[in-house]
Structure 1
Amino acid sequence: MSSHTVQLGAGAADHDLVGGKASGLGALIGHGFPVPPGFVVTTAAYRDSVSAAGLSHLPPEEKHRRIAQMEMDEGLAEEIRAAYAALGSPAVAVRSSGTSEDLADLSFAGQHDTYLGITGEDALIAAVRDCWASLWTPRAVSYRERSGHVDDDLALAVVVQQMVDAEKAGVMFTVDPVTGDRRHLLVESVDGLGEALVSGEETGERRTIAKRTLRQVDGAPALPRQRSLVRLGKAVEKAFDSPQDIEWTYTPQGYQLVQARPLTAVPPEPARTSRGRGRGPDWEMAMDHMPYPPFPIDQDLLVRPVFAAILRALRSAGLSTVHPEDVLTEIDDGVVQIRPPALRPRVRAVLGVPRAMPAVLRHLCAPVAGYREWVTAELLPLVERIDREDTSRLEDSDLLGRMDVLLSAIGGRLFSRFALLPRGAIAEALALSGLRRIIGPDEARRLLDDLLTAVPCVTTRSNTALAEIAAMVRRSPALRTIYRDSSTDEIPSRLRACEEGRELGARIEEFLASYGFREMSIFSLGVAPLRERPDVVHAMIAGLIADHPDPECSETEDRASAARAELERFDSPAARLLRGPILALVGVTRSTIAFREDSHFQLVMVLAVARRVLLELGRRAAARGGLDSAEDVAYLRRKELALPPQEMRTLVGHRRAARERSLEGYTIIPAELVRRRGREDAVVGATASRGIAVGTVRIIRGEDDFAALRRGEIMVCPYTNPTWTPLFDLAAAVVVDTGGVASHAAIVARERGIPAVMGTGNGTKALSDGQRVVVDADEGTVTLVPTTSVEEPGAVPSPREEPTG
């Protein structure tokens, strides 16, 4: 073989000649590990071919296109054919091996292309050329830019390896990549080839295995001859003296290794205690706030700055921390997850606790009035001024400046806002403890939930306003007909055709002007707020008027007043002693709930106005041909807003596809960190609002489904936020994939007096529309009603079909 092709294993030490992947495989071969045979088309072949074709100095996007189309030199093609014949002309895997790949600090995993099952000389040569071209995809170029790697003198080798007819394949991490635990290694596997696992298309079976004993410490089924694979992993880690990310295949003849590279971004090894490893924190709340991936523009302007501020605060407090890029990890092109860092207090953190306590107490005891004064005097005038501006008359730099001003305004106050919230939780816990002494544990939670209903806040006001609009529709036969017989797209034009409709339309416009800043799904610049989706308001109105039991009466009992009167009637010594403090604590909790709701609305108000400014930049990019629509600007990072149109279009296309791939099963926190509360086929979660209800399942995945919910149905959804609140007036119970007992859905369910089960993880997958279920929120379970006992009286204890409040 010549300098253009070398046998796999030869030249392993020459990273610049064979690239990172081939160098790693050659090192494995050099240490005697089992590796499928193959050869390498070297970087010299790439450089000579690109230079001869005159493509070396072209811009990346042009280089990507032209390399994929160029004719390969016949002499080089003949060398590749000869090497392929010497291998026996089998089916082969053709894999990119870049000079920037598999470094100790950066893997470049998945940035360059791989082709599996290639047979025949012509197909092999085409695959080699396509691998070369993948060095210049927008994805790879952007990855290098973000990572600080320059494109000077880059080159790409290609590994050609005999395909293994694998029964199983997968990856092995020689330390726990999530916790940093060096005592265990993790093995993931799929049936057949492992590419689907590596690319993220499949979620494999995961096993945690103790290195010392070679024993598995979880319940996943063991692999065949599993101990031999673990020994291989330990040996590779020892040979290279660093944690390794290893790809492997299995046939009845044994295990073979098809890649090994340093494991990058390994978190610090967690501190150990005599109690062993605990269950770790519950991340359901994070999943409730971010059920879908944040867009790239969110990552740049919202998520990274917030994490940077948090990590700076932790570092100043004496905690060992990582950098934001280690917390926000990219799992696909533009798609990220949050891997919470393992934090260990240093000595100075412990010594600094007394010094920090005054500041902590100052934040906890700070008056809410100070925050509200800032909102009234500074934030709202800023938001209103920018929202009134004609963005089309502003320069691009001015638009970016407006966004910076808006987002920095809320960024500077986020800590103050969150520091004011714990007092409510503390007051609620103390109030509950006092009520238990008066009326016992069974009734205390019910009475406290009633005392915390009907809190005056923006959410209550918006729900009241929407209920009044729905009442207008119910009182008018003509309006009821429009909402009953029309799609949400048809309703606006039909309303404009009659006097009553025009009056209603004006009320809806007023509603949107006041409350339309609400987010629809996630806290994001890339998702339209309610004011951009009047069809969602029409859908909620349609749901509120359908099957209403009493069109003339929509008022409900004032549960808070009734609960206060009930508390006043207790006359025991404990009641006389504790009643005053309990009511004071309830007052603190109610004011904190109001503050949380109002301040959240103010945050999303800023976001909605910043999005309006961003969309103007998107419209300009679309006019230049860089985007299909203004909304696609969310797929870009700030520095990419000025990309050439074709490069921008290609980049957005890649990221849109990556986002679509990620949506099924996505969790903002890696799934392995999220607690599962039961069997995969069981719908089990946390009790958020007690009670038992029987009803028909209605899956509500998003705002487009709002009109489908009918009174008395069981609402099963992936997440909720304040925009969903009117639906709680219809549902008999709520079952949510994400969230915990302090999430929005839990609080609203308790206020409405309907059972709620949170954090099931699988409710929207395990259940389907039309099923009859029992939601036992006392136990945190959802079960199907047996078909033979649906109508049997007493089959379910105290069933409810509708809200009682």
Structure 2
Amino acid sequence: MTLVAPLPAFGRADLAEAGGKAANLGELARNGFPVPDGFVVTTAAYERAVAEHGDPGHLARAPLRDELRAAVAAAYAALGGGPVAVRSSATAEDLPGAAFAGQQDTYLNVVGEEALADAVRRCWASLGNERAVAYRRRLGIADADVRIAVVVQRMVEAETAGVMFTADPVSGDRSRIVVDASTGLGEAVVSGLVTPDHYVLDTGGDTVSHTPGRREVVIRSAPGGGVIRESGRVATGATPPAADSALPDGGASADGRAPADGGALPGAVLRELARLGAEVAAHFGRPQDIEWACAGGRVWLLQARPMTALPPPPVGRLGPVRRRLGSVLTEYVPVRPYPIDASTWLPYGPAGLMAQVVATFGIHGAFEGFLREEDGVVYGLVPPRPRPSAGLLAAPFRIAARARRYDPARWTGDARFRRVMAGTRELAGRDLAAMPWPELVRMPRRVLDVVRPVAGLRSDYLPGAGVALLRLRVSLALLGAVPLFGELISGARTRTGDANRALEELAEEARRTGALDADPLPASFAARLEAFLAEYGHRETASPLLVTPPTWADAPETVLGMIRMLAAGPPAGAQTGTAGALDRLLARPRLRRSPARRARMLRRVEAARAGVAFREDSHFFFTMPLPVLRRSLLELGRRLRDAGVLDEPEDVFHLRLEELEAVGDLATAGREHLDRLRATALARAAKREELAGVRLIDPAAVFPPRPAEGALVSGTPASGGRATGPVKVIRDPARFGDLAPGDVLVCPYTNPSWTPLFQRAAAVVVDTGGSASHAAIVAREYGIPAVMGTGGGTSVLADGLLVAVDGDTGHVFAASGDDHRTRAAAAGQAGPKAP
């Protein structure tokens, strides 16, 4: 086995032998980039040392074997025997999703064979240091899966050094290059010891902005080895050190020396950095995080690795159609989809079905291709660009014909609906645990096949729903009664409303009997809860477009949290109801004088409500197969865990359906195939962990700021009225029970499963969504103000902050205690309305 080899002997494919850092540097060196000469002590040398001495932690004091010592000495002599930089290069670092920045050791200005041998041993031992072990555990990387090489390079006595990002790490803008620089060695910048000069460049290297640094510390090579730290005040007047005469030729030339006295980098150096950065990024095919140094007028590249936690590129200015689609998609994709989501429920569930529906009317691409992936993981959401086709010209005629033929009030009698329900019941009754692998792995496709008729049902019945709503709105406009529209259609009987009433009944029993205080739950209450989950447990907690989040049945604690919240007190909203709106409408003189007009208006209200009910109830019924799909995937995950492929059943979410299907029979699958599957899952898990704090899209692109004087946040007015109360930020269903009656619910997204909270909230403020979303409709039904699409309400508004929500204008203001007492008194006088 090769123990020591020149740096250019390795490339990006040699991760196992050279580790991430050396493999990337070797790739650059062999392709002509200005990389200081060096060599690599390979992972084979490390493995021999571990085999001889055991625990890697012991290697810091273990002598190098004669063969390795001789090879290192020869390679060191070939570099000229001068000062070198010695850096760790583990097989799990400098990779997409796993930067390992600063986790293993680096030693600068190492001089002499003995010091070099000691630095190599210490780099080996650093693989087991506490911070590196903790970092690996966070990424789910087993210690046994990681080895370490050591890269040794000729030391660059930098006048100025730093870090360059070939994309803006904050905005994700790929057309910007960000450079941080300071005097001396780059260690001061990468370790955070100094406030560096900060440059933002365009792709040509011209400066877009420059913020001078403070140079609190300067790190330089010390005579005889090691480094020294100088204060910035001393360094400012220091004479720049001469260029290292031992440096090889071939460094990139820059027209002018980099400054050592605190001045800005010359434009020529910045342009050279931009050129090199763009070429490195193009070579590796992704934005790069590059350490660089400038010495004697030459720019050197000291490290290159993929940028981690990089936001998706800005989507730019969106037109009204794309903004509207973006508001829908950000509400329905509130969390990062897993690969299994992207290959199952996303393309074949509600979003995929709606794409088919709109395509039948001549619009393509409205709900397709809106997710961007990198390394097999979704990293960004881009509102799609719908493409009209010639079929759009015939759409009005198709809509009219289907509206006449398909009555939304009778859709549950359609034979296609009955087939979907029958198929769902049949699949739900299957014993997944008893299935052999070949049958089990076909179950996800069977579930997806069951819902295929939904596209036809929706494309046939939605026109009637839309025409009914339009007819009612026109009729109200002729009467000057358009403000009643929202209240009138909110009177539709829906399965969402049924679920909310059932929850209220459970809360009433809990309030009366104290059932929630008992452990275990009383038998009668537990039976009613079980019956509730049997009927409504397929409801999603996070998104109807994803299979990976738990359903209510999977997470009954979410339901108990809602019951606890509802049992805590009477409804907080005014909730004037819909019956009053209908009475006010029918009392208008033109309708009161004409029984025929009155009857026609009643029919139009009922038809519009049937359209609303179709929209809600079709979603309710068509998500009923979702638990079967989720359970089948988790059963596949359990079997892969038992076979040693996955660590937990949920790790199956990191795989795509076609990758699971490729394992035709787990009992006979080759170990090599299963090992590749495991490696894929681990790599995607690391990438997902890297992106944990990265947004799928900048909310401001979808929800442009709507500033108003004095407003804390602003958004789309979605349900009228004004209410005052303390803020309660609820970020996920696990926190439902934290909402108290009278709180202003502030949340990142909503879906029908969140609407029981509206029965107690004084108002609702949501980061995403629009006036036509489920949340807005239910807020109008309960008579509470709602502001949607604030973009960042959950970031600005904190728990306990007293606010006034104006649902008519879409603004949220800070409120005084007097405002809150007035609001509470008014709500008490009005009294609650039964949901």
TM-score, normalised by the number of residues in structure 2: 0.66
Q: Which residue of 2 aligns with 1:563?
A: 581
Q: Which residue of 1 aligns with 2:337?
A: 294
Name the aligned partner's letter for residue 482 of structure 1: A
Over the aligned positions, Cα root-mean-square deviation in angstroms equals 6.2
Q: Which residue of 2 aligns with 1:378?
A: 419
Q: Which residue of 1 aligns with 2:705?
A: 677
Q: Which residue of 1 aligns with 2:482?
A: 444
Query: How many angstroms apart in 2 are the aligned matches of 1:669 and 1:194?
Result: 33
Q: Which residue of 2 aligns with 1:727?
A: 757
Q: Cα distance, 1:614 vs. partner? A: 2.7
Q: Cα distance, 1:729 vs. partner? A: 0.6
- Note closer, same or farther for the CA distance 1:15–1:47 as it changes in structure 2 (3 Å cut): closer
Q: Which residue of 2 aligns with 1:612?
A: 631
- Note closer, same or farther for the CA distance 1:572–1:75 as it changes in structure 2 (3 Å cut): farther
- Note closer, same or farther for the CA distance 1:616–1:569 as it changes in structure 2 (3 Å cut): same
- Note closer, same or farther for the CA distance 1:615–1:127 as it changes in structure 2 (3 Å cut): same
Q: Which residue of 1 aligns with 2:84?
A: 89
Q: Cα distance, 1:741 vs. partner? A: 2.1
Alpha-carbon contact 2:469-2:611 (below 8 Å) kept: no
Query: How many angstroms apart in 2 are the aligned matches of 1:226 and 1:585?
Result: 73
- Note closer, same or farther for the CA distance 1:414–1:129 as it changes in structure 2 (3 Å cut): farther
Q: Which residue of 1 aligns with 2:37?
A: 39
Q: Which residue of 2 aligns with 1:499?
A: none
Alpha-carbon contact 1:94-1:161 (below 8 Å) kept: no
Q: Which residue of 1 aligns with 2:239?
A: none
Q: Which residue of 2 aligns with 1:151?
A: none
- Note closer, same or farther for the CA distance 1:170–1:246 as it changes in structure 2 (3 Å cut): same
- Note closer, same or farther for the CA distance 1:412–1:245 as it changes in structure 2 (3 Å cut): farther
Q: 745, 759, 764: which is aligned to 1:715?
A: 745
User: In structure 2, the residue corresponding to 1:379 is in which secondary structure?
Assistant: helix
Q: Which residue of 1 aligns with 2:499?
A: 462
Matched, 1:407 2:448: yes
Query: How many angstroms apart in 2 are the aligned matches of 1:379 and 1:614?
Result: 20
Aligned residues: 710
Q: Which residue of 2 aligns with 1:61?
A: none
Q: Cα distance, 1:293 vs. partner? A: 1.7
Q: Which residue of 2 aligns with 1:739?
A: 769
Matches within 5 A, 1:643-682: 659=688, 662-664=691-693, 666-669=694-697, 673-677=701-705, 682=712
Query: How many angstroms apart in 1 are the aligned matches of 2:166 and 2:593?
Result: 61
Alpha-carbon contact 1:687-1:757 (below 8 Å) kept: yes
User: In structure 1, the residue corresponding to 2:548 is in which secondary structure?
Assistant: coil
Matched, 1:482 2:515: yes
- Note closer, same or farther for the CA distance 1:573–1:210 as it changes in structure 2 (3 Å cut): farther
Query: How many angstroms apart in 1 are the aligned matches of 2:452 and 2:25?
Result: 46
Query: How many angstroms apart in 1 are the aligned matches of 2:461 and 2:154?
Result: 60
User: In structure 1, the residue corresponding to 2:613 is in which secondary structure?
Assistant: helix
Query: How many angstroms apart in 1 are the aligned matches of 2:704 and 2:564?
Result: 36
CA deviation string 1:775-801 (max 9, x = no partner): 1222322232246x5578699999999
Alpha-carbon contact 1:453-1:560 (below 8 Å) kept: yes
Query: How many angstroms apart in 1 are the aligned matches of 2:417 and 2:405?
Result: 17
- Note closer, same or farther for the CA distance 1:611–1:11 as it changes in structure 2 (3 Å cut): closer
Alpha-carbon contact 2:804-2:814 (below 8 Å) kept: yes
Bigger drift between 709-718 and 318-327 goes to: 318-327
- Note closer, same or farther for the CA distance 1:87–1:764 as it changes in structure 2 (3 Å cut): farther
Query: How many angstroms apart in 2 are the aligned matches of 1:414 and 1:661?
Result: 36
Matched, 1:506 2:506: no
Q: 354, 372, 391: which is aligned to 1:328?
A: 372
Query: How many angstroms apart in 2 are the aligned matches of 1:24 and 1:802?
Result: 73
Q: Which residue of 2 aligns with 1:534?
A: 556
Matched, 1:285 2:304: no
Matched, 1:693 2:723: yes
Name the aligned partner's letter for residue 702 of structure 1: D
Q: Which residue of 1 aligns with 2:570?
A: 548
Alpha-carbon contact 1:295-1:526 (below 8 Å) kept: yes
- Note closer, same or farther for the CA distance 1:616–1:270 as it changes in structure 2 (3 Å cut): closer
Q: Cα distance, 1:531 vs. partner? A: 1.6
Query: How many angstroms apart in 2 are the aligned matches of 1:541 and 1:251?
Result: 61
Query: How many angstroms apart in 2 are the aligned matches of 1:302 and 1:699?
Result: 29
User: In structure 2, the residue corresponding to 1:735 is in which secondary structure?
Assistant: strand
Query: How many angstroms apart in 1 are the aligned matches of 2:761 and 2:716?
Result: 18
Q: Cα distance, 1:702 vs. partner? A: 2.5
Query: How many angstroms apart in 1 are the aligned matches of 2:23 and 2:337?
Result: 31
Q: Cα distance, 1:662 vs. partner? A: 3.7
Q: 425, 428, 432: which is aligned to 1:387?
A: 428
Query: Between Structure 1 and Structure 2, whose CA radius of gyration is higher?
Result: 2
Alpha-carbon contact 2:717-2:771 (below 8 Å) kept: yes
Q: Cα distance, 1:451 vs. partner? A: 0.4
Alpha-carbon contact 1:687-1:756 (below 8 Å) kept: yes
Alpha-carbon contact 1:438-1:574 (below 8 Å) kept: no
Q: Cα distance, 1:694 vs. partner? A: 0.3
User: In structure 2, the residue corresponding to 1:620 is in which secondary structure?
Assistant: helix
CA deviation string 1:664-698 (max 9, x = no partner): 4x444466754442689943222221221100112
User: In structure 1, the residue corresponding to 2:553 is in which secondary structure?
Assistant: helix
Q: Cα distance, 1:535 vs. partner? A: 2.8
Query: How many angstroms apart in 2 are the aligned matches of 1:702 and 1:733?
Result: 18
Alpha-carbon contact 1:684-1:780 (below 8 Å) kept: yes
Q: Cα distance, 1:191 vs. partner? A: 9.7
Query: How many angstroms apart in 1 are the aligned matches of 2:306 and 2:38?
Result: 21
CA deviation string 1:497-533 (max 9, x = no partner): xxxxx2x332222211111111112343333211233
Q: Which residue of 1 aligns with 2:382?
A: 340
Matched, 1:753 2:783: yes
Query: How many angstroms apart in 1 are the aligned matches of 2:29 and 2:635?
Result: 52
CA deviation string 1:392-420 (max 9, x = no partner): 22112212222211112225634753785
- Note closer, same or farther for the CA distance 1:546–1:530 as it changes in structure 2 (3 Å cut): same
Q: 607, 615, 618: which is aligned to 1:599?
A: 618
CA deviation string 1:368-397 (max 9, x = no partner): 556862454211111112212222221122
CA deviation string 1:215-264 (max 9, x = no partner): 85xx998997797788457755997997984545689999976678999x
- Note closer, same or farther for the CA distance 1:449–1:336 as it changes in structure 2 (3 Å cut): same
User: In structure 1, the residue corresponding to 2:447 is in which secondary structure?
Assistant: helix
CA deviation string 1:741-770 (max 9, x = no partner): 222211211111111112223322322222
Q: Cα distance, 1:564 vs. partner? A: 2.3
User: In structure 1, the residue corresponding to 2:725 is in which secondary structure?
Assistant: strand
Query: How many angstroms apart in 1 are the aligned matches of 2:752 and 2:345?
Result: 20
Q: Which residue of 1 aligns with 2:165?
A: 171
Sequence identity (%): 26
Q: Cα distance, 1:607 vs. partner? A: 0.9
Query: How many angstroms apart in 1 are the aligned matches of 2:527 and 2:534?
Result: 11
Matches within 5 A, 1:783-802: 783-786=813-816, 790=819
- Note closer, same or farther for the CA distance 1:469–1:312 as it changes in structure 2 (3 Å cut): closer
Name the aligned partner's letter for residue 37 of structure 2: F
- Gap runs ≥5 in structure 1: 56-68, 102-107, 143-154, 199-204, 264-268, 497-501
- Note closer, same or farther for the CA distance 1:379–1:516 as it changes in structure 2 (3 Å cut): same
- Note closer, same or farther for the CA distance 1:745–1:358 as it changes in structure 2 (3 Å cut): same
Query: How many angstroms apart in 2 are the aligned matches of 1:297 and 1:775?
Result: 39
Query: How many angstroms apart in 2 are the aligned matches of 1:462 and 1:172?
Result: 51
Alpha-carbon contact 1:339-1:669 (below 8 Å) kept: yes
Alpha-carbon contact 1:688-1:741 (below 8 Å) kept: yes
Query: How many angstroms apart in 2 are the aligned matches of 1:772 and 1:84?
Result: 68
